[in-house]
Amino acid sequence: MCKDRPVTPASALTPVIDFVFPPRCPLCREPVAAHGGLCLKCWDTLAVPSGTCCTLCQRPMGESHSGDAQLVCAPCMAEPPKHAGIAAATLYNDSSRALVLAFKHGRRIGLAPMMARMMQVRLPPLEGRWIVVPVPLHRWRLMRRGFNQSALLAREIAKASRQDLVVDGLVRQRPTPSLGGLGRKARARILAGAITAHAGRLARIKGANVLLVDDVMTSGATTNACITALRKAGAAQVRIACFARVLDEALDAIREPVGLA
CATH number of domain containing 100: 3.40.50.2020
pLDDT of 147: 94
pLDDT of 113: 94
Residue 258 confidence class, pLDDT cut points 50, 70, 90: very low
pLDDT of 66: 53
Ramachandran angles phi, psi of 85, nearest 5°:
135, 155
Q: Would you tell me how many other CB atoms lie within 10 Å of the CB of residue 43?
A: 18
Note whether residue 133 is domain-resident: yes
Note whether residue 63 is domain-resident: no
Q: d(Cα 49, Cα 46) in Å, to the nearest integer? A: 10
Note whether residue 59 is domain-resident: no
Q: d(Cα 188, Cα 246) in Å, to the nearest integer? A: 17
pLDDT of 259: 42
CA-wise closest residue to 195 among 178, 218, 176:
176
Residues 243, 117, 105: CA angle, nearest 5 degrees: 45
Cα 144 → chain centroid:
22
Note whether residue 167 is domain-resident: yes
What is the rounded average pLDDT of the residues 208-217?
Answer: 97
What is the rounded average pLDDT of the residues 95-119?
Answer: 93
Note whether residue 65 is domain-resident: no
Q: Show the DSSP H helices in 34-136 as ranges.
A: 40-43, 74-78, 94-104, 112-122
pLDDT of 9: 44
The residue range of the domain holding 123 is: 82-253
Note whether residue 16 is domain-resident: no
pTM for the whole structure: 0.84
Note whether residue 89 is domain-resident: yes
> What rounded mean pLDDT belongs to the chain?
83
What is the rounded average pLDDT of the residues 17-27?
Answer: 65
Note whether residue 75 is domain-resident: no
Residue 156 confidence class, pLDDT cut points 50, 70, 90: very high
Q: What's the structural domain count of the chain?
A: 1
Tens digits of residue pLDDT in 58-80:
888 766 555 555 788 888 899 88
Residue 253 confidence class, pLDDT cut points 50, 70, 90: low
What is the rounded average pLDDT of the residues 194-210?
Answer: 96
